[in-house]
Amino acid sequence: MAKEVRVRYAPSPTGFLHIGGARTALFNYLYAKHHNGKFIVRIEDTDIERNVEGGEASQLDNLKWLGIEYDESIDIGGPYAPYRQMERLDIYKEHAEKLLEQGLAYKCFCSSEKLEASREEQKARGVAAPTYDGTCRHLSAEEVAAKEAAGEPYTIRMRVPESVTYEFEDLVRGQVSFESKDIGDWVLVKANGIPTYNYAVVLDDHFMEISHVFRGEEHLSNTPKQMMIFDAFGWEYPRFGHMTLIINENRKKLSKRDESIIQFVTQYKDLGYLPEAMFNFFALLGWSPEGEEEIFSKEEFIKIFDEKRLSKSPSMFDKQKLTWMNNQYIKKLSLEEVVVLSLPHLQKAGLLPEELTEEERAWATDLIALYHEQMSFGAEIVELSRLFFNDHIEYDEEAKAVLAGEQVPEVMAAFKAQLEGLEEFTPDTVKAAIKAVQKETGHKGKNLFMPIRVVTTGETHGPELPNAICLIGKQKIIDRVEKLAQ
């Protein structure tokens, strides 16, 4: 009987859910669901000095927002609880003692100053990747006991086997190998009793019966250290797969300091991106389906996901593609849904009051409807609709060129007269008024529409003109025409 597929996403609460973390979680989720397996979220909170308030909640809340549902975690429990590493310290301690008893690990009493001096000395000799020099590797039992009796603090280090080649078939990269001679004796447990990542992760993966590990390529060099722990206890390895880097549009590795790209999922949520679009975009960030289609539902992604199509090349975070994709999803929303998405941004910008009357809400709905097809994300409505909130118009050079046309005074005088004669002020009556101006003056096309658009909206391009004019309001439009004539 085939082993159940169990995969995990194991974030550290040292920060909020990031683009890279979201992609890792998503690929693990898709793999699990494609194989009718389980997706686990485990919190690796042992870096207690760097843990940030709200980091844990950000990870879980934003995964749920994206539609990445997990089967086991700290908030819903599961058969392999606890799912926080700091609640599993007794497990790590017990197994570290076993490694010490078997001589597979040892206590290291070297101070941080001595370790730093050793690193600097190795660098001075041209060693590219300094390793521990093994000072405490050969201490006798009596020497260890004396140092402990003297109260000297210690770490526990792995005794790295000599002349061992660590090989595995990476699910993304193919055959990978490392030599033990290139890996120094590394720390399993820090002086404060807290395990290091490479030690704790193995025990967690084993006891939670994790079958496959998909993670970023920055973890590739950690794999041989983890394989040592599996070997030490005689445990079976999970299958490893290391996904490629995410790069920016300059083909540089995506850094959290890179301000050219919004980095955190909650920021996209706050800007009014849709979770379905973000799910779709992240799924194509280092994975490709067969064919040219790029828009898929979550259920479709689960059905077609194939780890063999994970990219071996760096994945570019294409901002334009994301906004295009989000626009595709916004177009499919009802107007009511688009209003819910974008109205709060107009209110937050102070353009509309927090509490709206029925008349104000109807006006705002008509406004948002103008940009439904164009909008790429909810917050974009603020800049798109700015012309409707400007009391004073500043004409740019293109607009001034339009207003310099010799037919403009005649067109605008006729348009003003038509507006003043309107009993109803609707898009249809405004459209009829413009048509009447054409008939009266003989001007048509750009010579007719461009002056009216520029005078009424202040812009040379924009939404459907009769609708825009109605939203601005009859009196304000007449005022603008009169001001031009002065």
**Alpha carbon distances (Å) from 451 to 429, 445, 455, 465, 474:** 19, 10, 6, 11, 17
Cα distances (angstroms) measured from residue 235 to each of 40, 114, 202, 291: 20, 35, 10, 41
> How far is Cα 440 from Cα 382, in angstroms, rounded to an integer?
37
For residues 163-185, b (16+ Cβ closer than 10 Å) or e, as one string?
ebebebebbbbeebebebeebbb
- What is Dmax (Cα atoms) for the chain? 109
Gap between the Cα atoms of 69 and 60, Å rounded: 9
Q: Note if 308 is an active site residue.
A: no
Comparing C-alpha atoms, which of 277, 285, 282, 293 is closest to residue 311?
285
As a whole number of angstroms, the distance between CA 378 and CA 400 comes to 31
**Per the residue annotation, which of 98, 181, 252, 256 is the catalytic one?**
256
Pairing of β 246-247 and β 315-316: parallel
CA distances, 464 to each of 402, 419, 461 (Å): 18, 17, 9
What is the DSSP pairing of strand 187-189 with strand 155-158?
antiparallel
Whether the Cβ atoms of residue 11 and residue 21 lie closer than 8 Å to each other: yes
Instruction: Collect all residues with Cβ–Cβ distance below 8 Å to 388 and sequence separation of at least 6.
Output: 367, 468, 471, 472
Distance between CA atoms of 337 and 341, rounded to whole angstroms? Answer: 6
Buried b (16+ CB within 10 A) or exposed e, 212-240: bbbbbbebbebbbbbbbbbebeeeebbbb
Q: Which residues are catalytic?
A: 256
